[in-house]
Amino acid sequence: MLIINPSSGKEKALQYEEQAVAILGKRHELVVVKYTEKEGDATDFAASACDGTYETLLAMGGDGTINECISGLAEKEQKPNFAFVPLGTVNDFARALQIPRKPKQALALLEDYHLQAVDIGKVEDRYFMNVLAVGVIAEAVYDVTPELKSKYGHFAYLFEGAKAFREKTPFHLHLRTDEEEEVYNDKSYMMLVALTSSVAGFEKFAQQAEVDDHLFHVFILEELSVQKTAKLIPDILTGKLAKNEQVAYFKVKDLQVASDTELVVNIDGDEGIPLPFKAKVLPGEIKVVVPKKA
């Protein structure tokens, strides 16, 4: 099955349809093409591909389309191998898996077909592939318009996050595991739960994270001052955030998150659900077509 979001990549997705069908046709007897028209279509299409008929699911679209496809495949007994052509602005999942962000090069991976079992996350009844975020700066990403993303790329998220400094207010955050182990109970400005190394387009943000280590990598920003931010940003860019004195960092397989403030968790860049919530890692849940070097 080939799922295409016609509006992704400045409407370039359709330009690669013929090439995608030709490459898939070398390996498969039949290629069924589906076009998304609205939110949720990709999830429905991907779920329908888990009936045992399909060997491969190829998606062409941005992070939202990829997330929907993974949501459709998650926790199904018979699911196809997953491949995707990243056509979004940030493409964190592709960055973490070393999948080329040029469509022709991404499609070429299907000629070789090397598979990698990849972890995904589950938060309540939703799934994610990259990150959960809580806090004022996390919510600032909702203000990033398509125009800003086109103009500044992933740096648009950094700009909007910086604006949120003016409204900075700490909130109490309480984290524990399913075994009732308390891992954090203090004030904070932001929490990020990363499944992959790339967050908001910064490929080394959580460089400790592997796509198959079965762990959440949790970063909690405990302090936020103009002076100390000067050190924070270079650490984000160079992968040293875990050692920053303003940040608490730890690794867990599951989380229960609560706060005394009304907050909503950001799930892979989209508005999610109110706190409190539970999240867990689904180890090796999806088999993804990746480059051999990955």
Report CA Rg, the chain: 19
Segment 131-144, tens digit of pLDDT: 999 986 666 555 55
Whole-prediction pTM: 0.87
pLDDT digits (tens, 9 = 90+) for 204-233: 888 899 999 999 999 999 887 766 667 777
Whole-number average pLDDT of the chain: 87
Residue 205 structure tokens: 């943000």
Exposed, middle or buried by CB within 10 Å (0-12, 13-18, 19+), for 148? middle
Task: State the average pLDDT over residues 150-157.
Answer: 56
> What is the pLDDT, as a whole number, of residue 235?
79
What is the CATH number assigned to the segment(s) 128-284?
Answer: 2.60.200.40
- Residue spans in the chain of domains classed CATH 2.60.200.40: 128-284
Within the chain, which residue ranges are assigned CATH 3.40.50.10330? 2-119+285-290
pLDDT in tens, 22-80: 999 999 999 999 999 999 999 999 999 999 999 999 999 988 899 999 999 999 999 99
* pLDDT at residue number 57: 98
Within 8 A by CB and 6+ apart from 165, the residues are: 137, 224, 226, 229
Structure tokens at 12: 């370039």
CATH superfamily of 2-119+285-290: Probable inorganic polyphosphate/atp-NAD kinase; domain 1 (3.40.50.10330)
